[in-house]
Amino acid sequence: MLTVDDDPGVSRSVARDLRRQYGERYRVVRAESGQQALDALREIKLRGEEVAVLLADYRMPQMSGIEFLEQAMDLFPLARRVLLTAYADTDAAIQAINVVDLDHYLLKPWDPPEEKLYPVVDGLLEAWTSVDHRPAREIKVVGHRWSSRSYEVRDFLARNLVPYRWQLADEPEGQRLLSAAGEDGSRLPVVITTDGEPLVEPTDAELAARVGLSTTPSTDFYDLVVVGGGPAGLGAAVYGGSEGLRTVLVERRATGGQAGTSSRIENYLGFPDGVSGEQLTERARRQAQKFEVEMLTTRDVVGLEQRGPARVVRFEDGSELAAHTVILATGVTYRMLDAPGLSELTGRGVYYGAAATEGPNCRSEDVYIVGGANSAGQAAMYFSRYARRVVLVVRSDSLDRSMSRYLIDQLEGMENIQVRTCTEVVGGRGAEHLEHLELRHNKTGETEAVAASWLFVFIGAAPLTDWLDGILARDPRGFVLAGPDLVVDGRRPPGWILDRDPYHLETSLPGVFVAGDVRADSVKRVASAVGEGAMAVTLVHRYLEKT
Ligand SMILES: Cc1cc2nc3c(=O)[nH]c(=O)nc-3n(C[C@H](O)[C@H](O)[C@H](O)COP(=O)(O)OP(=O)(O)OC[C@H]3O[C@@H](n4cnc5c(N)ncnc54)[C@H](O)[C@@H]3O)c2cc1C
């Protein structure tokens, strides 16, 4: 409840009367000018709280009670409004009923409150509580539907399992929030934290720090640094932590990795009904936390070196983290579709990976998916729940060689999924957002322009390991070599000084291990990534015992 009166004595006594009767259930906020009251309301709005009743004095010097209520309505349209007037101002109060849709006017003085104030406020509260106003202490993202940064921010929060509410900047609640944050909508997105702090166009690192994700290590030396927070990294972290190693996991963007973007993993042991990547990630994170693993997000590792017995990883900002051992679990990153017009539309209709946050936005529209592997098939199943029609665009003449049988059967069972084989996406255009795709039949050469607002691309992936150049042995495609693959014709890798061969998952730098998709010739599966993460920890112990 907020009350405003320029006479401090009156203001105090209204607040006192309200607190006495309603103080247990409501917070009573008091202001002595319209401006002060509006500032308080903006703060309340940003904190995600609600206002039930506004009581404003009519005669205030800079801003009348009516002017105040008019502006307050922009922030809290559902708050009940009361004007406090002297007898001589009754006419103005009656007019205000039309201007600000006034609920009540109260003649001053209102003594005794039991007779003149509380019955009125009781009635207003009853009307107000009949609507669900439970305050939502949640993060809000205000942005533009077709802005790629707005999409990235939502994707970042979703993949880090941070709940948020999405508000379009051009809808009334979005506008209210922007106005409360003092923004005019030219700088988007604006993220409002649960403490009510507006973050304008935040970077991932700023966002992470403000929404409770850890970004800085608590110390500078660990037993084990795990680089990458996908299944392999999370697996390694859980085993490392559970076996008593001081472990820190460093993730560039969001834990879960590729698996975190999967809508349904059907073949992971122990989940006969399938499990979403989000659920699996959430459980793995909780498990790692239970074993006191530190998890840092938005930290990109860009360098690795040996410094005496220590292994040191370097971050983008030049800071470093040292440990006895390192497990690299950096996985792979999606390849971009190289067709004219698509790169400009990335994040505005063109997406890489599952982009599950966009599902509900595709309702009743056509969705195009490029790719013939399981990831594309899973995405087609996921989007078919929302879209009018899902078109799977596949380069080869059949899915048989690239997709699991169970998924092909599921796709065939869906009426709104169509598979177009021998077809490639060769272009895309759109002004603000994707509008058209150009498809080519690769046998006949025929091209066709189709209206399309949504394209999700799953065309394979590559390891991003250039930063390991000259430090670790890699295969020609950039995958990290380990164990027996490093010993060629009985010769150990160049620079190897130990009188033993590298352990199974050990790289060409002793004490640095590799697990999951980034390892050369690895099996690209969740189970194998988790398994290798666990196995790498066993080898870490063996390495530590012998050094
Ligand atoms: C949509 C989709 C569906 C899939 N479905 C299945 C399925 O049903 N069953 C199955 O078995 N497999 C499935 N897979 C494959 C499976 O997800 C991968 O094999 C698995 O995620 C590999 O795990 P990983 O930890 O090795 O690598 P990733 O999952 O790729 O994780 C690597 C992580 O490292 C981070 N990273 C990279 N470089 C750095 C750096 N320099 N610094 C810090 N962090 C870094 C990345 O941001 C990423 O989070 C699917 C994949 C996709 C994309």
What string of DSSP letters covers 391-431? EEE-SSS-STTTS-HHHHHHHHT-TTEEEE-SEEEEEEE-S
Is it the case that residue 492 has pLDDT exceeding 80? yes
Element at 502 (helix H, strand E): none
pLDDT-based confidence at residue 133 (cuts at 50, 70, 90): low
| For residues 135-154, average pLDDT | 85
Angle at 58 (CA atoms; ends 52, 63), nearest 5 degrees? 90
Tokens of 522: 């690895």
Q: What's the average model confidence in pLDDT over 190-206?
A: 94
Confidence of residue 354 (pLDDT cuts 50, 70, 90): low
Question: From the CB of 262, is ligand 1 less than 6 Å away?
Answer: yes
Is ligand 1 within 6 A of the CB of residue 517? yes
Residue 318 above 60 pLDDT?
A: yes
pLDDT at 127: 82
Q: Which helix (H) or strand (E) holds 72?
A: helix 65-75
pLDDT tens per residue across span 223-252: 999 999 999 999 999 999 999 999 999 999
Which 8-state DSSP code applies to residue 501?
P
Strand order in the sheet with 366-370: 350-352, 454-457, 366-370, 389-393, 417-420
Classify residue 41 by its DSSP letter.
Answer: H
Q: Are 275 and 527 in contact (CB under 8 A)?
A: no
Nearest-atom index, ligand 1, CA of 232: 25
Pocket-testing residue among 204, 234, 252, 258, ligand 1, by greatest number of atoms within 8 A of Cβ:
258
Q: Determine if ligand 1 sits within 6 Å of the CB of residue 377.
A: no
| Average pLDDT value for the chain | 92
Question: Which sign, positive or negative, has the C-alpha torsion 274, 249, 506, 470?
Answer: positive
| pLDDT (average), residues 172-200 | 94
What is the spatial distance between Cα 103 and Cα 101, in angstroms, rounded to a whole number? 6
Contact 304, 295 (CB under 8 A): no
End-to-end CA distance of the chain: 67
* Choice between 159 and 232, residue whose per-residue pLDDT is larger: 232
Mean pLDDT of 113-121: 90
Distance 460 CA to ligand 1 centre (A): 12
CA distance linking residue 226 with residue 515, whole number of Å: 10
Contact status, residue 434 vs residue 454, Cβ threshold 8 Å: yes
- In the prediction, which pLDDT does 123 show? 87
Residue 88 has a pLDDT of 74
Ligand 1 atom closest to the CA of 261, numbered from 1: 1
**Which pLDDT value is given to residue 132?**
63
Between CA 245 and CA 511 the distance in angstroms is 14
Is 136 a residue whose pLDDT tops 60?
A: no
pLDDT at 315 over 70: yes
The pLDDT score that the predictor gives to residue 146 is 82
- Confidence class of residue 284 from pLDDT cuts 50, 70 and 90? very high
Is the separation of the CB atoms in 438 and 420 below 8 Å? no
pLDDT band (50, 70, 90) for residue 261: confident
Q: What is the pLDDT of residue 293?
A: 97
- Which residue of 250, 251, 330 sits with most ligand 1 atoms within 8 Å of its CB, as the best mutation to test the pocket? 330
| Cα-to-centroid distance, 233 and ligand 1 (Å) | 9
- CA distance linking residue 420 with residue 333, whole number of Å: 25
Nearest to 520 by CA among 477, 490, 489, 488: 477
Beta pairing, strands 301-307 & 310-315: antiparallel
The pLDDT of residue 496: 95
Structure tokens at 160: 């880090």
Q: Could you tell me the pLDDT band of residue 353, with boundaries at 50, 70 and 90?
A: confident
More confident residue, 137 or 151: 151
What phi and psi values does residue 500 have, to the nearest 5 degrees?
-145, 160
Distance CA 195, CA 204 (A): 18
Confidence of residue 78 (pLDDT cuts 50, 70, 90): confident
Cβ burial of 131 (10 Å; 0-12, 13-18, 19+) is: exposed
Q: Say yes or no to pLDDT of 177 above 80.
A: yes
| 286 vs 429, more confident | 429
pLDDT for 159: 85
Query: Up-side HSE of residue 456: CA atoms within 13 Å toward CB?
Result: 28
* pLDDT surpassing 80 at residue 19: yes
Helix, coil or strand: residue 187: coil
- pLDDT classification of 135: cutoffs 50, 70, 90: low
pLDDT value for 118? 93
3-state SS, residue 366 = strand
